[in-house]
Amino acid sequence: MREGRGDMFRMGTTATHRSIGAIAMACIAWSMGGTAAAQETIRFGAALSLSGRLATEGKLVREGYDFFVKHINDRGGIPVGGKTYKVSIVYYDDESNTNTSVKLYEKLISEDGVKFLLGPYGSSATIAVSTVVEQHKLPMVVAHGAATTIYNRGYKYTFGVLNSVDHYTRNIVKLSSEQTPPLKRVALINENQLFPQLGIDGAAQQAKEFGLEVVFKEKYASGTKDLSSELEKMKATRPDLVIAGGYTDDMILLARQIKQVGLKPRLVGFLLGPTLPGFIRALGSDAENMLEPVQWTPGMPWKDSLFGWTAREYADLFQKQYGHAPDYHPPQSTAALEVYYHAFQKAGSLDPQKVRDAVAATDIMTAYGPIRFNANGQNVAKSMSVVQIQNGKPVVVYPLDAAEAKLRLAP
């Protein structure tokens, strides 16, 4: 769901834009030999946060989808039932707005005739959109919605390739409890949004499980431009460990202001932030030693069963194509499309119900990791690691059997 790079679509499309779109589709059909030839393409659909407050993440997501499209089409496409289909994706920009996302998925289904959906960015949008696809009985493979509430409602058409948010902070809390002496006092802060709230609530439960005391727990309103007052209150509680939940811009602000107010915990962790492009660049040395739980790193010992790439080879190919190294967002996106690839082959059909059933039976290995869904549509086959920024780069520090470097604690 990476950068716009061209065909970004927005709500409020004018009649002129619709006409241009119709003409463009007609030209594509003509160039492929008419309507019958146009059916040789499998179309996916997604509304992504290509503008607005989640655009940093949304553009990374698109890149991962487009990466799959390029490489599968270079191989000739997807074989299904004796025919081979090229792949394309219909994109819209939901402007980081959940209500807009819902309208756009309705448009993808009802107006554009898309039968195979890719998830939006973020848990709030994914929860809302999953109701739409459930009503239409069409499959949606989600790459970027981690809230447990997406998957615990008994829905049958939504599947997520990523670890759900209740897994995110567990290893940060666990490794803190394993230090000598163990870290005991934890402060928690999050944006008042679904994903950050669920993640930080999970951290509070895990702190109790591993014997840490929660000495501070507060949320802040979306759009807050100054977190110094919250951090001053946090500072008075003398935490050993700080864990924060929010999105990129807020986490950069929080990391900067932690230094400014003189808050000095031994460890600082984020639900997301340090591995995203721009975080280290924005903070410089202030990013050192900060932690993030990650779904994926290039050093993971996984090899893709479709393309034959290792995680490292995926990263190198992505860097060559886009000019920057991937964090976990792009490979998550690519993995979602690989689920569909295998489902089409297993089903031997493009019938949405047969494909949905084949998706439910997924058991594959990708460069992103293993994928196998439980009855709720959650991936239960993979675990998460913890990375720490050391010398300007993210390195795995936990679990210990996968560690690339030793954990650093502030004095």
Give residue-wise pLDDT tens across range 377-399: 999 999 889 999 999 999 999 98
pLDDT, residue 398, reads: 94
Average pLDDT score over residue span 55-75: 97
pLDDT digits (tens, 9 = 90+) for 261-284: 999 999 999 999 998 878 999 999
**What's the Cα-to-Cα distance from 42 to each of 113, 271, 341, rounded to whole Å?**
11, 35, 11
Choose the weakest-confidence range: 110-114, 297-301, 311-315: 297-301
Q: What is the pTM of this model?
A: 0.76
Q: What is the pLDDT of residue 24?
A: 36
Return the H-helix or E-strand segment holding 191: strand 185-191
Cα 50 from Cα 19, distance rounded (Å): 23
Residue 36 banded pLDDT, cuts 50, 70, 90: very low
Tell me the percentage of the chain whose pLDDT exceeds 90.
Answer: 82
Residues 333, 326: Cα–Cα separation, whole Å: 11
Q: Decide if pLDDT at 148 tops 70.
A: yes
Average predicted confidence (pLDDT) for the chain: 90
What distances in angstroms separate CA 152 from CA 127, 130, 276, one per listed residue?
11, 12, 29
Question: pLDDT for 207-240, tens place per residue?
Answer: 999 999 999 999 999 999 999 999 999 999 999 9
Where does the pLDDT of residue 2 fall: very low under 50, low under 70, confident under 90, or very high at 90 and above? very low
pLDDT of residue 402: 81
Mean pLDDT of 177-202: 95
Largest CA-CA distance found in the chain, in angstroms, rounded: 71
For residue 59, what pLDDT is reported?
96
Over residues 200-205, mean pLDDT: 96
Alpha-carbon span 119 to 9, nearest angstrom: 16
Q: According to the model, what pLDDT value does residue 232 have?
A: 98
The DSSP bridge pattern shows strands 267-270 and 241-245 to be: parallel
Q: Distance between CA atoms of 72 and 41, rounded to whole angstroms?
A: 12
Question: How do residues 116-133 score in pLDDT, each as one tens digit?
Answer: 999 999 999 999 999 999
